[in-house]
Structure 1
Amino acid sequence: MHLNITMNDVLKRNTFSKAKIAAGSKGLNRLVKWVHVMEVTQIGNLLNGNELILSTGMAWKDNEQVFLSFVLELIELNVSGLCIELGTQLSAVPSCILETAEKHGFPIILFEEEVRFIDITQDLHTYLIQQHYEMITKLESFSQALNQILLSPNPQENILNLLHNSINMQVVFIHSQKNVTLVPALDSSEQENLLVFIEQEQETSFVVRQPIQVLDHPFAELILCSKDRPMTDLHVLLADRTATALANQLLREMYAAEKKRAEENTWMQEWLEGRHRDDEIEKHLSYLGMKGRHQGASVFCVEMENREAGVSETQYPYIQIVIRSIFEPLGFYILPYVKSDHLIFILINLREVMSYKERVRQGILLARENQKLPSLFMAVGKRINRLGALDKSYNTALNALMVQTKLPNGKSSPLYDDLHMYRLISMIQDKHELEDFIQDYLRPVIEYDAKNNTRLLTTLKVFLMCGGSKQETAGQLYIVRQTLYHRIKQLEELLGKDFMEPGKRQAVEFAAMAHEYLELP
């Protein structure tokens, strides 16, 4: 599949039978993508690179400096070469031009007798179009071969072999877990040298890097490299088609793995109910392929915010794959479990405990920022050290999930350990007891707001949240300090001047949080 056209190929055409290479013979391997007749010196944005320029020299025949500047600009724009017809406008090319071209490996081709540029352009453009058509044909044939391989056993190895056999270049496949596959295979020292070469040449035309993404997440990378042949458009297209095939194969494997994990649901349910011993759990995790020592675990619960908006359980496999792709790089081994009303993920911590909470928060933030996921309530239970005590984490995760669904977005943390006062509120089973407590401490403010259409209760909640800081409270409410002073005075009149004293303040703050939790008006 070597369909690229070089200056060497051009010089073999009949229209160049009388042409002479005056300078830059080292650059005859330059690619040619188009042919352009140019009789101006101001190039500007007229060229894209890899053009063969035909000229009579009319624009710079009397000015050697302009000629030199023109050639240097062609070199800078990565033009393939310059063909000049001598005799009509220009009798010879100055030596300084030839020396410059030779230095930069920029081919200068001379026609010492009159030629028809229209014949040259027609011949080369026809040749280029034919090559382009052949490239499309080869690419289609390659794609069909990929589709057949995807239906066969061990598709990944066969796909990489097909690509190598098609281009006769080194193929490198790097999985997200840093597993490197080379086709053809190399020994360890050769592999190390190759990877160094790829890093050094990644900005040049000797390396093509194609990321492999599954569900918008990078999972692997496909690399083509050659130390003696530059890459062409065909190589880029082949790498792109191969990457797509590998992504499909990875996605199929992931769905198959998720299906297999779904069969573990019965065992998982028993685990969440605390019916398995630690040694049984450790043995089962080893069977599943978990590597490394764990540092405890927690339960992560996910529930749809709006089930009536076209979101159904058919999206569960997709959500599972995305959650896995987010949390595994953060140091967690993930075990999913599907219930009728929500998804459960067991997060087994494989890294140090100190960074556990920060990594969990980072994962939840990435999940919330993923626009392709439906709107979700997310909650994480207590981290437990013994895997046999996972039922405690599960129960607290359900508790945290209930708090999430009760409060407005952003009002509470998704981590049970960070709920603090809401943990107490959620434990009170008698709703009337909570309502009575709220009335005992907040009734004057609630009644005042209802009668006067004011927002003193909101001011009280923000004031408590800001720890009694008047400056911060005024900023949060977007009001001037004097307005806040007036509202605080009203609160003192309604609740008593001691409402910010330690004991009473805690009760008032508890009542304000319970008011939000019960979604009271």
Structure 2
Amino acid sequence: MAERQEFFFGRTDRPDRRSSALLVGDVLALPAVQEGAPTVLVGGPALEAGVRWVHVSDSADVARLLDGGELLLTTGAAWPTGTAALRVLVAELAAIGVSGIVIELGPRMSRVPDAVIEACAAAGLALVALAVEVKFVAVTEAVHRALIEAQTAALRERQRLHDLFTALSLRGAPADLIVSEVARALDVPVHLENLAGEVVAVEALRVPVGQALRPPGPDGGDRVPVQARGVRWGWLIAADGPPHPAGRATVLELGATALAFGCLADGEGAWTVLAHRSLIEDLLGARFAREEDVEVRLRRLGLDLAGTTGTGLVFRTDEASDRLIARARAAGLAAVGSRRGADVVLLVATGVGALSDAAVRHLSGGAPAILGPSAEGVLGLLASTRAALDLAAQPSGGDVPPVRRVADRPLERLVSALRDDRRLQAHSEQMLDPLVRHDRDRRGDLLAVLAALVAHPGNRSAAAAASHLSRSVFYQRLALIGDLLGADLDDGETLAALHLALLARRRDTAPPL
């Protein structure tokens, strides 16, 4: 209970704009008040004070009858006239927490005394003068009607959100979806942190991720614990923003409850898997508006690229990604990782120098590993990871070393660096189009034969074996390829160009991992 009480708004001087359905400014806009030709003498932020009730009294001792949150309607008929006494009266009203004062001017008080205006301004208390006589009972009825309507709307909205988050819980919705729904409901950025301060999920809406993850100031934003059965898993944090009909506290608590149910069902480890997987998928899919956004998310997961180099690795293993991450961190490497298809992708900050083969084998637990080149920054890490994935996707026959490096394959590295260049794709299409059409129309294998040839350029017997063809049939296929392309397959430059075209085609047509 004590931890939950950290979140609820305690009783302050007066209800604030986030915990009230009706504000002083809303009351002033009501037709019943507008008939009095209101003039705001002290406004600004004071007009955002919450109103929970309206009280009518001319007594100078009215403060003892109030509980806070009331909007006081008065003619000031029984108020003192002395400057000091007026200041004391306003101070008592401010101390009890009234939302504001509305004074109807008349014979008893033709103008609001300067002492009252100054005292209200000093206390941040809304002060309004009515130049025309109005029926206070009409104002009271209008305000109370508006409060009831707002409360009814709040109840409906609470029920709608309760149904929404209950349905998400029953369907086993992932944490990032729940966080997104909370953000959309509040219309502000929302993020979920675990107890280590790592960001599990973030919905930044229309602002940069770095700004969305900025800690809220002392007077802004809200945070609520995600906990159940005495166990706390983290915090759901919302940036400061507009009030919500159901109350910002209610929305956050409903989201936190749905997240807690997910933790009870799936275990805390599901958060870590989600955080790492979503970041890697966003990085590889280029689903980020700014490089800084991914950099901030990497840093909040413990991988800081500032002043260091990063490397993308791919492991052919059935091990869970969190075990590889744990081994990397135990070795003193900052790492983020996730399973992607049959592989595990690991991003590590390597510092100065490349990882040794022994270090890579330790990280992989003995499984085959593909190592991208060292690079700086988010875009460099993206290129390194893509290059490792490209090499991992290539068919490998014969003896394959346990650790393969993109840096040892200059053509692979070149194609990875130029993978988004349309000219490279055009080169591939132009050189290979006759073979592509032949294989498509006749269900042929010329592309596979050509791939075997460039993989074994100095050993056509090995190339034939890799193609699972006899040497005579393999040579017939080569002759047909040469005729279709009008090319000399014994020419080194021609073979290099064809090898480049094949690599580009495989990257362009490879299925997603």
Q: Please give the range of the TM-score, normalised by the shorter of the 2 chains.
A: 0.3 to 0.5
User: When the two structures are superposed, what TM-score results if normalisation uses the length of structure 1?
Assistant: 0.45
